[in-house]
Structure 1
Amino acid sequence: MIQKDSQVYIIINEQGTIESFNLPATDIFGFKQEEVKGKKVDMLFPNFNTQLLHQEDSSAFETLGVLKDQSITTFQVNCNRLLLLDQLYFVLHVETAKEQKSSFNKMKAELKASLSELMDFKFALDESSIVAITDQKGIITYVNETFCKISKYSSEELIGKSHKIINSGYHSPDFFRNLWRTIGNGKVWKGEIKNRAKDGTYYWVDTTIVPFLNGKGKPYQYLAIRNEITGKKRAEEELQRMMSKLIGIQEEERKKISRELHDGIGQNLYSLLIMINRLRTDSNHQFIEQMETEISNIIDEIRQISWQLRPSILDDLGLIPAIRSFVNKFNEHYGLKTNFTYKLQRRLDSEVETSIYRIVQEAMTNARKYAKTNEISLSIIEGENELDIVIDDHGVGFDPKAKRNGVGLFSMEERARSIEADLQVHSQINEGTTIKVKVPFQ
């Protein structure tokens, strides 16, 4: 391969004897390969010291060279070691001063073009994003003007500090531990962060943190690129408030209708049933028996509707008794088996209890309709900082990527979001569906 290269290469062994002399070298020095092969390299470079090459893997130096016509030229020599079949060789890449200057000018032009392109990228990034660079310990070493503008700190106030200076206190320590664990392992982290400006105002940023790795694959600095999304987050929060308010109004209406059905129509029908029973003692008409049956069925239906709208036991006794009662009725009515385990020793906020009840109700109803299962597992376990709820239907499952037309999952997600809970749905064809809800204690 060396023979076909346009660069000048000379290969010598440990003793300084020339082993190879490529064609471009013959053009420069005027010697043919057979005239120099096996000769000492000092016939070309009188001041060449072979012993110096043993000290480093590679070296570069300037030396005088003698051409065949006895003229003397200054050469730049770059030397690299080559171990081949346990034999050490030195590969000399030789350039004349003119060639070196040409190469230098080319590199200079390429570097200038690269720097110009890099400055264009930097300008575009600074104009569109909030940029900061930190060292491996998280100490800020660079911020752009956009960072200073949104944080209301000067660059002098920020450089040398950590990002704790803009910490809003909104995110948990676990949030930042996960962030540092990710970038510390050399991976890119993406997420949304709420920060606090110098004047006490808050702002949200969509953040990407890119670790820069050294030769050992360890981060030595981090580049953080952020875009402000405060307006978007405010809109989301306002929408969430509206949804919570709507859910609250809906629950109040359900409670009102449930009581009216139970206390009004239900009581009137029950009174009518008593009257029919009295009539039957005086008369044995088949028509009266039919009326009695129909009214009994209507009473049962109204009780069922009333229960589904708003179980009074939820308000009176709390979440666990209400769900236990729902599970018993559910199993009895649909012939399913529900394994219900729980550990909860406290009453929760009314809104939280209602949302959890509705999520469980919706999940079990969906399982009955679509899972083709005979058994459901439900657990509600109290942890140190959160309540963990798991519903597993052991059914046919579904493809999470497929388009869904129903509103059941949407309803559960909105319920969870209204109480700042985390809801996750895991499903696989023929593997069943598992719904996990983590409700933080306020």
Structure 2
Amino acid sequence: MSYPILTQKQFHLLYDLVDEYVFFMRKERNTFVYEYINKKAEEIFNENPHGRLLEQCFDDFHCKTILYHYNRACMLKQSVSYQDHHCIKGATFVNETSAIPIFDGNNVYILATTKEVIKTKELQESTYILESYRKGVNDAALVAMTNEKGIIEMVNELFETTSKFTKEELIGKSFWMINSNYHEDSYFEQIWETIQKGEIWRGQIRNRTKYGSFYWVDATIIPITNENGIIEKYLTIQFDNTEKKQMMTELRNIERSFKLITEHSNDLIAITDEDGYLLYSSPSHETILNYEKEELLGTYYLNIIAKESSNLIENLKTNLMQNNNNKIRTELLIKTKDGSTIWTDTTITTVQSTVYDEEQKWYVFVSREITEKRALEEQLKFLAFHDSLTGLPNRRMFYEKIPEAIQLASNTNIAILFIDGDNFKEVNDQFGHDMGDRFLNHFAEKLKQSVLEQYKIYRFGGDEFVIVVDQINDYINGKSDMLETTIQSIQYTFKKGWTIDTIQFSPTISIGVSIFPHDGSTVNELLINADLALYEAKKLGKNNFVYSNAVHP
């Protein structure tokens, strides 16, 4: 009897609740046919594409892109990830798709999962399904494990309840204990012939209870092999009616689908016990972190978390308890085997279940590497608050930081030095803008040298710079000796000048000075008054500085 690899009901059970576009496609000659799509994917289509060819659903450009990557996945016999885009309601979305080839006899399928690049979709739902599967099997099926000779080594509680034999009576015996003599010997010979070849056997068997009554089961016998491919045990799963057999088929396919997803995913998926010891790790731990599976299994998984993320991990249980859904999402720094680190977007979920009347808890870690994304974000953040030419903080950073400095000032004064180069335009006019940029870089460096990098310097644009001098304790009668010493240091440094390509520059600067709180209590007031003082300094000639109180006594 042939079973479909994935029924429509199973597909929707698996994927209708996920926030990703999921497509199940069947290869047909040189193209693919839509078998199923999940609810999220319905947003893309005007009508359900079931049974339609790829070419009937997308334009030529998209078809060629999708076909190329689907065929590549089939040829390589491994998952392939790629990026493309689609439009919904006038908006364009850049997506990342993972295409997993599935081979089932003569049929070839593609399970394609598409997510928006700006989002990271976690796979913990699939992990939860696996746990539900195991619990479901134990509750619904008669389970027994035998050695390679068919001697029973383990039975579950439902097996005992249904057969009326205790496990002590069954263990060490064969299934002849429950043989009802209904089937011919050849029936069981055919079963043994099948499973000894390493093939799974499915069929119906009539068994006998301890007290002589009969019960029918839909049975599945699965050979269990060791790493060398040698059969060591047989797992027998039985359902005592057709409805339960259908459940088993669905649950088995769920496990199969979960394995396909986790074994081919680029995400790091790990399951630990309540104390953090590893119970399962996906193969991506080998490809991304370079750990062998045997190195991690049974070890304290949190040891691979770098110390920069240790505070969150140390408070893991508390953080999860504070979330009503027992789930937290954070960025973790994870160590690879060689000691280097990668940043990950990680979701940690608590999974609870009762095993043998005992409440047990696991943690599911689903991590996706975002090292490059994080580096780009840091770079963009730096560029947003820094001048691209000199690397100095910019006007935006000034407005971010000065209110905080003003708030923290206690019984001291803060000076705003508004600095403008004298005749900078002549440098550009005479030597060109490239030389002008090099001139400004030297200008910025000399400012830092003159204040010994003790105070914050901001570039506002052109040759306009602002220096914030704090901790001024000698501002008396409209002046400060400490501040004027700093200004004289700046003027002296610029008088010495610098050389670019044998050209000597000794520029002069004009400075306007405002003092907090005397010349203003807000950033705008201080900056306006410093600018007015700068204007007065320029009117006096080159290389001067003026206090704001001289403009507004």
TM-score range, shorter chain: 0.3 to 0.5
Query: Normalized against structure 1, the TM-score is what?
Result: 0.37
Which structure shows the higher strand fraction? 2
From the CA coordinates, give the structure whose radius of gyration is larger. 1
